[in-house]
């Protein structure tokens, strides 16, 4: 399945170092995805709903959501997405440092598509990024907006 | 005088013998008869006098005396008659006769006068009858007497009994009074608040304890409703007492009450119905209350501290995840960016720079390992120990599989004694013990030596004891305790890698099983590690 356009990813990550690292690893792995970055849950929801300054935002194919966010945290953002009729079908990957079973459980209860703990080394991160691209943009059939 | 003596001694008169012509027969007849009469007459008064002397009770004794005098006089007259036979002293004997006549007349008169009284005197038959009658009466009287005595005895017994009953009753009343006084004193001075109310809740008595507990004096509160002590959010007295009347049983509960100064106090309250009369009608209620403020406060404090401890405990449990997130995240970023510098910017750095970045990455990775080990160790203290029958043979096989690369690399020979006994333990935790001990034995091996590891076990009624012997570099026996401490290492890191947590984890696992671990070693002569696990593990240890 050959994508007609580059996939649009929304990275919700408040730590700029973390966000840039992920973006760099995507770049290093030569993955042709557009990574849109917002730093808070509130911004993420505006982006997804194309509200405020995000009126021209693209349709998002996959959300990479951190848990530990200022304001609305990852769980709350996920809940909002799942509660929103238009957004609820958007695939969401929880990409977080937490391995806390209660976080994992809550995320799946809120119908996260998958829960990924950030690896300790850059090689492992590269591997994960590859896997995400491979799986979500080449293996699975994602919902279409129209 | 001379005329009287002439009259008395008339010598010219003839003796009476002359009239008899001195015939002896006639003389004898008269003289003897008169003498005998005189003697007889003299004896009679003697007998009468003797009778009088002996019978003092005789009724007519003066008559007897007169009779005695009369008979005596008669006797004397007869004596004079004898004398007259020879002497013819007729004047004297005439006077004697006159005297006798006088006494006779007097006695006769007395006799006649006495006659009615004498007639009235009972006859012996009458007396006998009287005696019989009296005896009969006496008998009857005795009978009456006996009956009377019997009745008296009965009555006395009755009275004695009544008396005893009365005494008992009085004693009982006194005792009851004393008891009631004692109870009244107990009630009055009890530290417990003891209050009596009527069926509507109107206070009728209020002891010292109540004054102290509630702050109201008896004078000011008696007559008021007990409702005054109820908190606002509790139903009023009417509701309470109508419920109590419906179900009048004594019961105890913890309630809140309001003191005079408005403070709310927790009390333990016992309410009991007070019954009166034969039909046991409820006339009111007794309420005994005692402050449990201190207990409630200490319970609340205990609960608060228990909640705090639970929170702390939960926080501690959470700590491993928080630590894994908060400590690892920046560290991961440091290492990641340094790696990018190493890989993507090496052409812009000189050799020193590249080497320094290498050291930094290495240290960071080591810090990451330390954090992970520490987390593993602390997870052991918070994780639940789940016991089950475990086959150590299988566990050791799993460990050997995990360490396959290292074992092959070192061409190690691991000998596991067959028939290791099954034991009760938490299998994943025991696996950690074998993992650490076997990997240590592989790691601390002299250069050029082929590691030889021997695993065996013994089991008795009390415990299972494992023994793991290697031919490694060994250590000084005096270090044998220190090696089980967290982060304690005996060798420089560049000789033997490791964070020094492995044996501490082993020790923790065995402590959690109620067992222990120890080691025997000598530098250059290999080491032997022993650990034992009790067969009946105290559940208290597991609950820790």
State the Cα–Cα distance between residues A137 and B425, nearest whole angstrom. 47
Give the whole-angstrom CA distance, residue B253 versus residue B476: 68
Query: What span, in angstroms and rounded, lies between the C-alpha atoms of B107 and B311?
Result: 147
Our CA angle for B316, B319, B324, nearest 5°, is 160
* Tokens coding B29: 């007849």
The Cα B368–Cα B1 span in angstroms is: 192
Q: Residue A134 and residue A128: Cα distance in Å, rounded?
A: 10
Q: What φ, ψ does residue A145 adopt, rounded to 5°?
A: -75, -30
Q: How far is Cα A89 from Cα B502, in angstroms, rounded to an integer?
A: 47
Give yes or no for a contact between A16 and A38, defined as CB atoms under 8 angstroms apart: no
Å from A124 to nearest chain B CA?
10
Q: Please tell me the predicted confidence (pLDDT) of residue B539.
A: 53
pLDDT of residue A10: 95
Least CB–CB distance from B328: residue in A15, A97, A122: A97
The span from the CA of B216 to the CA of B229, in Å, is: 10
| Chain A touched by B381 (CB under 8 Å) | no
List of chain B residues whose C-beta atoms are within 8 Å of the C-beta of residue A100: 318, 321, 325
Q: How far apart are CA A116 and CA A99, in angstroms?
A: 9
pTM recorded for the entire structure:
0.47
CA distance B349 to chain A (A): 20
**Residue A49 pLDDT:** 93
Alpha-carbon gap: A83 to the closest alpha carbon of chain B (Å) = 28
Pick from B403, B521, B506: which is nearest to B472 by CA? Answer: B521
Q: Which two tokens stand for residue A106?
A: 């809550």
Q: How far apart are CA B255 and CA B415, in angstroms?
A: 71
Q: Which of B478, B498, B481, B480 is nearest to B489 (CA)?
A: B498
d(CA B259, CA B265): 7
Query: Which portions of chain B are predicted below pLDDT 50?
Result: 540, 543-544
- Establish if A68 touches chain B: CB-CB under 8 angstroms: yes
B434-473 confidence digits (pLDDT tens): 999 999 898 888 888 889 999 999 988 888 999 999 998 8
Q: Pull the structure tokens for residue B357.
A: 């970045």
Contact B336/A121, CB-based, under 8 Å? Answer: yes
Chain B residues within an 8 Å CB radius of A118:
329, 332
User: Could you give the CA distance from residue B466 to residue A146 in angstroms, rounded to a whole number?
Assistant: 67
| Cβ contact A122–B333 (<8 Å) | no
- Spell out which residues of chain A touch residue B344, defining contact as CB-CB under 8 Å: 28
d(Cα B329, Cα B326) in Å, to the nearest integer? Answer: 6
A121 CB within 8 Å of a chain B CB: yes
pLDDT over threshold 90, residue A82: yes
Short-list B282, B273, B292, CA closest to B193: B292
Contact A100 B333 (CB under 8 A): no
User: Is the per-residue pLDDT at A5 higher than 80?
Assistant: no
Higher pLDDT, B497 or A61: A61
A97 and B324 in contact by Cβ < 8 A? yes
Residue B420, min C-alpha distance to chain A (Å) = 36
> What pLDDT score was predicted for residue A81?
94
Token reading at B300: 């609340």
- The confidence score (pLDDT) of residue B520 equals 92
Chain B residue with minimal CA distance to A122?
A: B336
Residues A128-142 have a mean pLDDT of 88
Q: Is the separation of the CB atoms in B444 and B410 below 8 Å?
A: no
- CB nearest A18 (choices: B333, B339, B340): B333
- Span B392-444, pLDDT tens digits: 999 999 999 988 888 898 888 999 998 889 888 888 889 989 999 999 898 88
Nearest Cα of chain A lies from the Cα of B328 at a distance, in angstroms, of 8
Q: Does B400 touch chain A (CB under 8 A)?
A: no
Which of A98, A120, A123 has its CB closest to that of B332? A120
Indicate the angle between helix axes B427-443 and B502-512, nearest 10 degrees. Answer: 150
Query: What is the rounded radius of gyration, in angstroms, for the C-alpha atoms of chain A?
Result: 14
Q: Is A134 on the interface with B (CB under 8 A)?
A: no
Residues of B in contact with A15 (CB under 8 A): 329, 333
ipTM: 0.78
Does B485 contact A at CB distance below 8 Å? no
Longest distance between any two alpha carbons in chain B, whole Å: 231
- Which residues in chain B touch residue A94, judged by CB atoms under 8 angstroms apart? none
State the first-to-last Cα distance of chain A, in angstroms, to the nearest integer: 18
What are the CA-CA distances from residue B478 to residues B388, B482, B483, B490, B496 (Å)? 36, 8, 10, 12, 20
**pLDDT at residue A48 tops 90:** yes
Q: What is the pLDDT of residue B543?
A: 47
Neighbours of B147 (CB within 10 A): 10
Report how far apart, in Å, the C-alpha atoms of B70 and of each of B52, B56, B110 are: 16, 21, 12
């Amino acid at each position: 399945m050959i994508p007609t356009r580059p996939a649009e990813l929304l990275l919700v990550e408040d730590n700029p170092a973390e966000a840039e690292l992920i973006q760099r690893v995507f770049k290093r792995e030569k993955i042709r995805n557009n990574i849109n970055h917002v730093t808070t849950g509130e911004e993420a929801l505006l982006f997804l709903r194309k509200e405020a300054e995000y009126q021209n935002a693209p349709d998002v194919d996959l959300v990479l959501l951190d848990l530990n966010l200022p304001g609305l945290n990852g769980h709350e953002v996920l809940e909002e997405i799942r509660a929103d009729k238009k957004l609820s079908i958007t695939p969401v990957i929880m990409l977080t440092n937490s391995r806390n079973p209660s976080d994992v459980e809550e995320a799946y209860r809120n119908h996260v598509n998958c829960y990924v703990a950030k690896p300790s080394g850059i090689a492992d991160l590269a591997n994960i990024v590859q896997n995400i691209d491979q799986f979500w943009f080449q293996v699975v059939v994602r919902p279409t907006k129209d | 005088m001379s005329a009287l003596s002439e009259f008395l001694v008339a010598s010219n008169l003839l003796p009476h013998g002359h009239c008899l012509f001195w015939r002896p027969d006639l003389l004898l007849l008269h003289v003897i008869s008169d003498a005998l009469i005189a003697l007889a007459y003299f004896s009679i008064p003697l007998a009468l006098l003797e009778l009088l002397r002996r019978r003092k009770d005789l009724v007519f004794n003066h008559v007897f005396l007169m009779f005695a005098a009369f008979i005596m006089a008669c006797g004397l007259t007869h004596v004079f008659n004898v004398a007259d036979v020879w002497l013819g002293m007729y004047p004297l004997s005439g006077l004697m006769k006159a005297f006798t006549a006088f006494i006779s007349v007097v006695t006769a008169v007395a006799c006649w006068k006495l006659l009615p009284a004498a007639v009235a005197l009972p006859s012996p038959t009458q007396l006998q009858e009287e005696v019989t009658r009296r005896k009969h009466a006496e008998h009857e009287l005795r009978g009456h007497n006996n009956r009377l005595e019997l009745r008296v005895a009965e009555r006395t017994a009755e009275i004695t009994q009544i008396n005893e009953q009365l005494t008992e009753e009085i004693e009982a009343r006194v005792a009851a009074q004393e008891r009631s006084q004692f109870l009244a004193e107990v009630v009055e001075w009890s530290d417990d608040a003891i209050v009596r109310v009527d069926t509507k809740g109107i206070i009728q008595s209020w002891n010292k304890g109540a004054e102290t507990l509630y702050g109201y004096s008896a004078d000011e509160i008696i007559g008021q409703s007990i409702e005054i002590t109820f908190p606002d959010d509790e139903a009023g007295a009417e509701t309470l007492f109508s419920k109590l009347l419906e179900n009048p049983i004594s019961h105890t509960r913890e309630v809140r009450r309001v003191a005079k100064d408005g403070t709310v106090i927790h009390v333990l309250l016992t309410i009991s119905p007070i019954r009166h009369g034969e039909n046991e009608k409820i006339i009111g209620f007794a309420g005994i209350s005692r402050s449990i403020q201190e207990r409630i406060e200490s319970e609340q404090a205990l609960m608060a501290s228990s909640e705090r401890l639970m929170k702390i405990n939960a926080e501690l449990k959470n700590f491993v995840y928080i630590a894994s997130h908060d400590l690892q995240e920046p560290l991961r970023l440091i290492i990641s960016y340094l790696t990018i510098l190493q890989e993507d910017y090496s052409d812009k750095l000189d050799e020193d720079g590249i080497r320094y970045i290498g050291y930094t990455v290495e240290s960071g990775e080591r810090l990451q390992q330390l954090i992970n080990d520490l987390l593993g160790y602390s997870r052991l203290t918070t994780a639940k120990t789940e016991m089950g029958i475990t086959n150590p043979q299988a566990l050791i096989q799993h460990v050997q599989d995990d360490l396959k690369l290292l074992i092959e690399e070192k061409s190690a020979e691991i000998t596991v004694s067959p028939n290791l006994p099954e034991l009760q333990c938490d299998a994943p935790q025991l696996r950690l013990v074998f993992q650490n001990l076997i990997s240590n034995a592989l790691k601390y091996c002299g250069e050029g030596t082929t590691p030889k590891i021997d695993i065996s076990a013994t089991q008795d009624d009390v415990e299972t004891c494992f023994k793991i012997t290697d031919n490694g570099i060994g250590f000084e026996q005096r270090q044998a305790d220190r090696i089980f401490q967290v982060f304690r290492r005996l060798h420089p890191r560049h000789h033997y890698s490791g964070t020094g947590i492995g044996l501490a984890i082993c020790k923790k696992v065995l402590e959690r099983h109620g067992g222990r671990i120890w080691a025997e070693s000598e530098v250059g002569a290999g080491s032997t590690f022993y650990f034992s696990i009790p067969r009946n593990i105290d559940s208290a240890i597991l609950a820790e």
